[in-house]
Structure 1
Amino acid sequence: MTIDWSHTAVYNTIMSVATGIALLLILQFGKKLQKGEIGYLDSWVVGFAIPGIILTLTGAHMTLTWPLSKIGFPFDDIIFGEPVLAFGILLLAAAYLLHRRNSFYLREEKLDVKNEKLISERLSQDLPGLLKPISYFGAAMGLALIAIGIAGVTFQLFAAPKEEPISGLLADYPMVEASFISLLYAITGIGATLFPFILKKSPPLGLVKTVKILWLIAGIIFVLFGVMNYFTHIGLIVHTMN
């Protein structure tokens, strides 16, 4: 098989890494906030904005131009592009809200930027109300991820071509990678769907723990899978160049 790579683009490598890092950042932010060790809020704004910008740009390009359709995988433009675009915009929205809230604390309430515990307490009170409106869109996209997971198993998607190193070894067993990626999407989506229900001053601990576990697993796998794909996708390109 040969592919004219000059007419398409495959960058779900950085998409996967940025998605995983963002999920792990959310968990770390919640942990630091709970302990009163939030540190400088501006650093968290930048931390969320970096993957947010990457995911918004790559997701928007994939959603609007369908580059993967040029190599015979048009459904992947929906599967990868649209959820990534949505997640990127949500991250940028959260970064913006944190930046505005930080400015308010420093300017109007005259809090010392070094007073981590006091800022953490104020933010713990304000954050559920700040995030609640945007969490509904996140929950809807969570349901979309579950639907993608069901589609992945139903239509046996995600199987790598034989020319791709490592992943290509399973090319004759499409249900293996279909089940793996579909489950990854599903657990991420379940966490997103549950997220609005933990945005309370005293959320159910079992629910919070469930979201943490789901996103911890998903975050680690997305990062590792994306890192691996830097090798496998380069190999695929080398093996399929004209």
Structure 2
Amino acid sequence: MNGITQAALVIDWTQMPTYNTIMSVAAGAGLLSVVWLGRGLQRGAPVRLEGYAVSFLVLGTILTITGAHMTLTWPLAKYFPFDNIIFGEPSLGFGVLLLGSAILLWRRKDLPETEDRGAEIASVVRPLGIIIVGFGLALGAIAFAGLIFQLFAAPPEEPISGAFAQWPWVEATFMSGMFGVAGIGAVLFPLALRGFSTGSQRTTWQWIVGICIGLPGLGFFLFGALNFFTHIGLIINTMG
């Protein structure tokens, strides 16, 4: 099947570059950082905006470069061209958002803590709500595609994840769930900005969005780190 044999799985890795290891770690770290920044601003905790600006710059650079290459090189992975859409395009979009956020935070790094920094940053971010909702809908579409077409299943040759190869719905449900929940958080993100200010009580929408962004963020972060082992093992087991 396009260079992959079923008897003894052999993959031509020169035709299948992929970055969803570092992409996943960076995306997870980015989602978690957004939650921590929002939590710190709302609680009125001492938040060093320049630190978050540098963090977003680093993560945004990783996601923009890898996402752009994966998106514009079609198909980057010869055997699984849908990976360009599933991993490349969301990474590119999120990466550019993080880079824009880095500029925003750096320009406001000297904003006095006596001012309502939470409300100020929320007001500047609000126009991005349209594209964030669009990305959220896209993540929802990816989640449905993963479930309907049973994507994300690892072959038996992949360590750990391959143990579930005979049950493709397991990894499909897990990965689609992370995309779907993150999508819900993105769609509801504009609602979380309403009434957001330093010292304010969290609204129901803010709680929901925080959970919907934070949980997938932790999932992508840990799963991406695990993939540095499982993908290396898959390459070793299928080099032929």
Structure-1-length-normalised TM-score: 0.89
3-state SS of 1:74 partner: coil
- What is the match of residue 181 of structure 1? 175
Q: How far apart, CA to CA, are the structure 1 residues paired with 2:135 and 2:196?
A: 25
1:35-66 CA distance string (max 9 Å, x none): 22243221110011111111111100110113
- What is the match of residue 192 of structure 2? 198
Residue 32 (structure 1) aligned to one of 6, 29, 40: 40
- What is the match of residue 207 of structure 2? 209
Cα displacement (A) at 1:67: 5.1
Cα displacement (A) at 1:135: 2.2
Cα displacement (A) at 1:16: 0.6
Cα displacement (A) at 1:85: 0.5
- What is the match of residue 5 of structure 1? 13
Q: How far apart, CA to CA, are the structure 2 residues paired with 1:6 and 1:183?
A: 31
| % identical aligned pairs | 50
What count of residue pairs does the alignment treat as equivalent? Answer: 228
Q: How far apart, CA to CA, are the structure 1 residues paired with 2:75 and 2:228?
A: 18
- What is the match of residue 142 of structure 1? 136
Q: How far apart, CA to CA, are the structure 2 residues paired with 1:123 and 1:36?
A: 9
1:197-221 CA distance string (max 9 Å, x none): 1112359711110111112211111
- What is the match of residue 101 of structure 1? 108
Q: How far apart, CA to CA, are the structure 1 residues paired with 2:75 and 2:233?
A: 19
Structure-2-length-normalised TM-score: 0.90
Structure 1 unaligned regions, length at least 5: 106-110, 112-116
Q: How far apart, CA to CA, are the structure 2 residues paired with 1:223 and 1:39?
A: 23
- Tell whether 2:81 aligns with 1:74: yes
Give the letter aligned to residue 216 of structure 2.
Answer: A
Q: Decide whether the 8 Å contact of 1:10 with 1:67 is kept in 2.
A: no
Q: How far apart, CA to CA, are the structure 1 residues paired with 2:127 and 2:46?
A: 23
3-state SS of 2:156 partner: coil
Worse-matched range after superposition: 78-87 or 33-42? 33-42
Q: Decide whether the 8 Å contact of 1:9 with 1:67 is kept in 2.
A: no
Cα displacement (A) at 1:74: 0.7
Structure 2 unaligned regions, length at least 5: 1-8
- What is the match of residue 166 of structure 2? 172
3-state SS of 1:69 partner: coil
- Tell whether 2:155 aligns with 1:132: no
Higher helix residue share: 1
Q: How far apart, CA to CA, are the structure 2 residues paired with 1:207 and 1:148?
A: 23
Q: Decide whether the 8 Å contact of 2:18 with 2:77 is kept in 1.
A: no
- What is the match of residue 96 of structure 2? 89
Q: How far apart, CA to CA, are the structure 2 residues paired with 1:219 and 1:94?
A: 17
Q: How far apart, CA to CA, are the structure 1 residues paired with 2:51 and 2:123?
A: 22
Taking only aligned residues, the RMSD between alpha carbons, in angstroms, comes to 1.6
Q: Decide whether the 8 Å contact of 2:181 with 2:213 is kept in 1.
A: yes
